[in-house]
């Protein structure tokens, strides 16, 4: 995409965002860098509608990294409840402890320092830098990848896994100015979430439809469709693990093995999932053979 057209893309999407943005608590003027970091971890593979109430409760209970660092791991896992992928809760607590030990309990604005924290990868570090501190960074999540794939690349959907070419395109589009770059990061993500959606894009509402290479090409089909896998949920180990954790979260005392027998499709699956939960640090096996959330 030519530089002038790229600048026009950014300008229009940011202007659209000024009116279309959702009123989310981690975007409020009184947000803290810690609150932004918590939101980014919670939003990984979890819809906003489920995250918002959990985020509010979490920040009310643990408003600073020091608060979470001192919490019981069992309490942390109970508070995470059904957000899914509960290892994120453990990594977030490890991150809080690292912030206390390395940064005096404050979230740093340096991307290298952020990426050195437990559970913080390239995307999360860039997002925190942009959304918490208003600094230039290359923020590329699933929504941004889709917007750039269509508007710039002319394809229906990006490849299943990010490529070096995608990274180069995303970097080239980001404005040099800190404030403009941060605004683009938020706006492009919102456009992908609300308009340029994966299955039913609302092209008639898109502020850059006349610039979109995918539209100009006649909306070609997804060339990577054969590489995409959809994972069933019912009967999977993920479902079994979730059921086991739900029982332990609700229990007021360690739980005997037989109380968990109905969590899976058979005894072998329950044994396998219990073993993996123990290895992941999400469940503790007591000396008497009963199970409980780890105390931390």
Contact (CB, 8 A) for 144 and 170: yes
Which element (helix H / strand E) includes 122?
helix 122-133
Task: Kindly provide the residue ranges of all beta strands, DSSP E only, lying in 155-233, ordered along the sequence.
Answer: none
The maximal CA–CA distance of the chain, rounded, in angstroms, is 69
- Among the residues of the chain, which ranges form H helices? 3-20, 33-42, 48-61, 65-69, 73-80, 87-103, 111-115, 122-133, 142-151, 164-173, 178-194, 213-216, 237-250, 267-279
- How many other β-carbons are positioned within 10 Å of the β-carbon of residue 214? 22
Q: How far is CA 244 from CA 54, 92, 275, in A?
A: 21, 21, 11
Nearest C-alpha neighbor of 87 from the set 98, 97, 101, 76: 76
What are the residue numbers of the active site? 40
């Amino acid at each position: 995409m030519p530089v002038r057209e790229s600048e026009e893309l950014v300008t229009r999407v940011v202007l659209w965002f000024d009116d279309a943005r959702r009123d989310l608590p981690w975007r409020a003027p009184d947000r803290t860098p810690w609150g932004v970091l918590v939101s980014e971890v919670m939003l990984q593979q979890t819809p906003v509608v489920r995250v918002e109430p959990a985020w509010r409760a979490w920040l009310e209970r643990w408003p600073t990294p020091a608060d979470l660092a001192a919490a019981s791991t069992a309490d942390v896992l109970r508070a995470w409840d059904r957000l899914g992928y509960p290892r994120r809760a453990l990594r977030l607590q490890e991150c809080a402890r690292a912030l206390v030990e390395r940064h005096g309990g404050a979230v740093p604005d340096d991307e290298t320092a952020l990426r050195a924290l437990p559970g913080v990868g390239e995307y999360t570090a860039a997002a925190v830098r942009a959304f918490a501190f208003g600094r230039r960074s290359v923020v590329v999540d699933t929504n941004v990848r889709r917007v750039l794939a269509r508007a710039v690349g002319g394809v229906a959907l990006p490849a299943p896994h990010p490529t070096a070419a995608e990274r180069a395109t995303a970097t080239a589009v980001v404005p040099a100015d800190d404030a403009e770059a941060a605004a683009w990061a938020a706006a492009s993500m919102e456009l992908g979430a609300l308009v340029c959606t994966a299955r039913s894009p609302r092209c008639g509402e898109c502020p850059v439809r006349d610039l979109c290479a995918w539209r100009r090409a006649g909306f070609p089909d997804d060339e990577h469709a054969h590489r995409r896998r959809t994972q069933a949920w019912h009967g999977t180990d993920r479902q079994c693990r979730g059921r086991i954790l739900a029982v332990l979260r609700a229990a007021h005392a360690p739980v005997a093995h037989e109380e968990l027998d109905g969590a899976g499709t058979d005894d072998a699956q329950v044994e396998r999932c219990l073993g993996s939960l123990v290895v992941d640090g999400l469940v503790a096996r007591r000396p008497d053979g009963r199970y409980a959330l780890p105390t931390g």
